[in-house]
């Protein structure tokens, strides 16, 4: 019509970027005998924490779609300790009241780390019970935690019967939130490689979780 102008077309929506998946965490989970797609889904669902992801696997491994490729668009993006997310105070107070064993000061940084996802925050808290305060401090002050780790172990006194050189022969690790739930698996060194023994499943452990052991077996080699 005379005197009318066409409205400009709205720009096409840019598709959201798929959330990043921590491949090292996936490799650690698959080394325990779980399927790769299920491990990726667990990492996406829990924000990248391996212990929480393993707990998620045991809760969902019976799902019909457990081994389907992860739906990246529907999965929550993994959060990091450098995230600028601020904890929702209402969610903080709700978690404190519902869980009944954590303080607001403990819940607040974890909830921010988990992008205010209460279920993920609860999983994180229960998965870090053994070193809760230290792990929460690492969330709040990641640079201090990294500097402390870089200092290395303190020098050890020499033994009276020699240097005492030992070789790790095997260890038992636990998958799950605490010792009253989850699953134990055994890792045994055969030649120069570790083999994982998970009930009736035995296979090569590509990346054994050495830091997750409950019992370690050493052989003195000097």
135-149 pLDDT, tens digit each: 888 876 655 555 555
The pLDDT-based confidence of 171 (bands split at 50, 70, 90) is very high
Sheet holding 213-220, edge to edge: 201-204, 193-198, 183-190, 166-175, 213-220
**Confidence check: pLDDT of 210 > 70:** yes
Between 90 and 17, name the one with better pLDDT. Answer: 90
What predicted TM-score, i.e. pTM, was given to this entire model? 0.32
**Confidence check: pLDDT of 11 > 60:** no
What number is the average pLDDT over the span 155-180?
Answer: 75
**Confidence check: pLDDT of 79 > 60:** no
| Residue 12, pLDDT score | 53
Calculate the average pLDDT of the chain. 77
| Residue 160, pLDDT score | 66
- Give the least confident one: 12-21, 56-65, 101-110, 123-132: 12-21
User: Shortest CA distance to 139 belongs to which of 164, 162, 120, 112?
Assistant: 112
pLDDT tens digits for range 87-121: 888 888 998 888 888 898 888 888 888 888 888 88
| Residue 82, pLDDT score | 41
| Contact between residue 96 and residue 110 where contact means Cβ atoms under 8 Å apart | no
| Residue 116, pLDDT score | 86
The pLDDT-based confidence of 3 (bands split at 50, 70, 90) is low
The segment with the largest mean pLDDT, out of 48-52, 158-162, 183-187, is 183-187
Complete domains list, the chain, with CATH:
89-143 (1.10.8), 166-220 (no CATH)
| Residue 170, pLDDT score | 92
Residues 6+ apart with CB under 8 A from 83: 112, 113, 115
Query: Which helix (H) or strand (E) segment is 105 a member of?
Result: helix 104-113
Structure tokens at 118: 């209460």
The sign of the dihedral angle between the CA atoms of 202, 208, 214, 220 is: positive
φ/ψ region of 162 (left if φ > 0, alpha if ψ in -120 to 50, else beta) reads left
């Amino acid at each position: 019509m005379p005197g009318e102008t066409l409205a400009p077309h709205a720009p096409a929506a840019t598709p959201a970027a798929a959330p990043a998946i921590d491949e090292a965490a996936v490799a650690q989970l698959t080394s325990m005998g779980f399927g790769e797609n299920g491990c990726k889904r667990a990492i996406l669902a829990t924000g990248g924490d391996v212990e929480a992801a393993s707990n998620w696997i045991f809760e969902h491994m019976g799902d019909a779609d457990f081994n389907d490729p992860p739906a990246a668009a529907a999965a929550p993006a993994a959060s990091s300790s450098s995230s600028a997310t601020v904890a929702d105070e209402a969610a903080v107070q709700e978690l404190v009241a519902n869980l009944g064993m954590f303080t607001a000061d403990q819940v607040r940084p974890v909830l921010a780390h988990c992008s205010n996802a209460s279920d993920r925050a609860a999983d994180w808290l229960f998965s870090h019970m053994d070193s809760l305060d230290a792990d929460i401090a690492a969330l709040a002050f990641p640079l201090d935690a990294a500097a402390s780790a870089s200092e290395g172990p303190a020098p050890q006194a020499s033994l009276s019967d020699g240097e005492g050189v030992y070789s790790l022969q095997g260890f038992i690790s636990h998958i799950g939130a605490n010792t009253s739930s989850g699953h134990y698996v055994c890792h045994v060194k055969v030649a120069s490689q570790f083999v994982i023994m998970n009930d009736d499943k035995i296979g090569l452990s590509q990346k054994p979780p050495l830091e997750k052991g409950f019992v370690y077996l050493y052989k003195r080699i000097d």
